[in-house]
């Protein structure tokens, strides 16, 4: 007989990052654009750096904190953090600490 209680500690993850953003079209009916942006960012950075979750911002890489979002993403979540950047989709050029998401595609 199986011990049914042993699976109580399993929890549903907050987000699932696939290896490639193209897989969202296959596995998800309604993909969240925020998760797709974050997945793209991680897929480009991960081969070269260790990526960590943080309480403020989305990811920490070395001594830098990154918040991922769209073109209207503000610095509110990371305003008090030194070496922090917003990585924004739908912008063409960087401005101060706001970096276009598409530039990370050149890393891979």
At 9 the pLDDT is: 52
What's the pLDDT tens digit per position in 41-89? 999 999 999 999 888 999 999 999 999 999 999 999 999 999 999 999 9
- pLDDT of 3 reads 43
Q: How would residue 13 be classed by pLDDT, with cut points 50, 70 and 90? A: low
Confidence of residue 11 (pLDDT cuts 50, 70, 90): low
Domain spans in the chain, listed from the N-terminal domain onward: 30-106
What is each CA distance from 28 to 16, 25, 34, 52, 106, in whole angstroms? Answer: 11, 6, 14, 25, 27
Report the distance separating Cα 41 and Cα 61, nearest Å.
Answer: 12
C-alpha dihedral sign at 76, 82, 87, 92 = positive
CA angle 13, 17, 18 (to 5 degrees): 130
pLDDT at 2: 42
């Amino acid at each position: 007989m199986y011990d049914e209680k042993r699976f109580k500690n399993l929890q549903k993850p907050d987000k699932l990052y696939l290896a490639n953003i193209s897989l969202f079209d296959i596995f998800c009916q309604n993909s969240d654009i925020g998760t797709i942006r974050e997945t793209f960012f991680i897929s480009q950075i991960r081969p070269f750096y260790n990526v960590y979750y943080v309480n403020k911002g989305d990811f920490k890489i070395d001594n830098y904190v990154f918040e991922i979002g769209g073109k209207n993403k503000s610095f509110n979540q990371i305003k008090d953090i030194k070496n922090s950047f917003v990585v924004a989709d739908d912008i063409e050029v960087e401005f101060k600490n706001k970096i276009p998401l598409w530039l990370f595609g050149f890393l891979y």
